[in-house]
Amino acid sequence: MRVKIKTLNSLTVGLETSFGIVDVGFNQLGIPGSSIKGVMRTAITWAILTGQLNKFTACGEIEPSRISNAHMKGVCDVCKLFGYPDHAGKIVINTVEVKKKHVLRRVSINDETLTAKKNALFVQEVIKPGEEFEINIRLNSNSCRDMELLLYSLYYMRLWRLGRGGMIDLKVEQFDECVDGDGKDIETLKKVLSNWLWEDE
């Protein structure tokens, strides 16, 4: 499955550094597939646990021992797809190489007073708004149910955040096919995901 992602604001997926001119540097690997996969998982879990999507199950846990306890009556759909301790899951996503980064100077904000903190200027590496990059997702399953859950996770990812508060849009340019099930909802999802959600007017 080929997916195009567009940044809607400045995006950083990285780590804090204690040396050099940048305080918050962009990950040297670019945007790891595991980071994208984690956002997809978080977004779909939120949708299921808030009752927006009732066809699937999510345990909502991330700590290994809690996941095991949550699965006492069976592994949830989200963990089957995205993985859990000792099980890799059914999705593989490539790492995105980031060639062009920009440096922004920012100031930390006090959450209580909503004013700038004193002596809290920092420098951050970002991808600019409006940049596009492509990811490839491999689903190691022919199940239409797995495909549907994957597509829903992409749908809800457009309403979530990537990295340090980055908003993104996405559209799917090439879809995998599934072989079992009626696939009605999948066709609807394909139509919705074939276009940007946040189009400029």
d(CA 162, CA 155): 14
Helix (H, G, I), strand (E, B) or coil at 184: helix
Distance from CA of residue 55 to its chain's centroid?
A: 21
Token pair for residue 48?
């299921």
What are the pLDDT digits (tens) for 109-164?
777 887 877 777 766 787 899 999 999 999 999 999 999 999 999 999 999 999 87
Cβ-based neighbour number of residue 162 at 10 Å: 23
d(CA 161, CA 170): 12
Question: What is the predicted pLDDT for the residue at 200?
Answer: 58
Output the pTM of the full model: 0.84
